[in-house]
Amino acid sequence: MKNDTWERLHSEPETLDMNLFHARFDHLRNPRNGKDIRIVTLTGADAVNVMALTPAGNVVMADNFRFGIMAYSLELPGGLVDAGEDHQAAAKRELLEETGYSAPDWYYLGCIAANPVFMDSYVHHYLAIGAEKTDSQHLDDAEDL
């Protein structure tokens, strides 16, 4: 693993509010060649996703419309963590909101950088055992699952 660090020379104020994220421009110095570069970083909340297993061993999935690809994408339920919200509470909330399922047993699986190329947030992964349909979906205006 490389020990050289990139020096942040300065950051431009966040001027672009994209609802879920803000854009920030950073000016960095490349330790390999000493050159200064300007990069964009999306700043935003961490997210969660849930691998929910039913008592029969089935995985609860969400067929979610995604604007970037203008198509539905079969994926694990999840979403952004609200300000001040515990990650596990967010995972439980997102599973219930998106699928109507809840589960009695929860396990934290760890986290990974969401997209470290240009984002500063992390995705926290949970395993939910014994998931059963307990409610209807509660979708946001921009969701169609």
pLDDT for res 6? 83
Residues 18 and 69 grouped into a single domain: no
The CA R_g of the chain, rounded to the nearest whole Å, is 19
- Per-residue pLDDT of 8-61, as tens digits, reads 888 877 666 667 888 889 999 999 899 999 999 888 999 999 999 999 999 999
Q: What pLDDT is recorded for position 140?
A: 77
- Residue 144: CB atoms within 10 Å: 10
Whether residues 120 and 55 share a domain: the answer is yes
Phi/psi at 98 (5° precision): -80, -30
Contact 91, 127 (CB under 8 A): no
Considering the domain boundaries, does residue 27 fall inside one?
A: yes
Question: In the 8-state DSSP scheme, what is residue 77?
Answer: -
Provide the 10 A C-beta neighbour count for residue 21: 19
Examine residue 90 and state whether it is found in any structural domain, yes or no: yes
Residue 4's pLDDT is what? Answer: 67
What total of structural domains would you count in the chain?
Answer: 2
> Are residues 110 and 143 in contact, defined by beta-carbon separation less than 8 angstroms?
no
Asked if 104 and 127 sit in the same domain, the reply is yes
pLDDT, tens digit, 9 for 90 and up, residues 79-88: 999 999 999 9
Structure tokens at 28: 């960095």
pTM, entire model: 0.85
What one-letter code names the amino acid at 79? G
User: Which range marks the domain in which residue 14 is found?
Assistant: 7-43
The pLDDT score that the predictor gives to residue 87 is 97
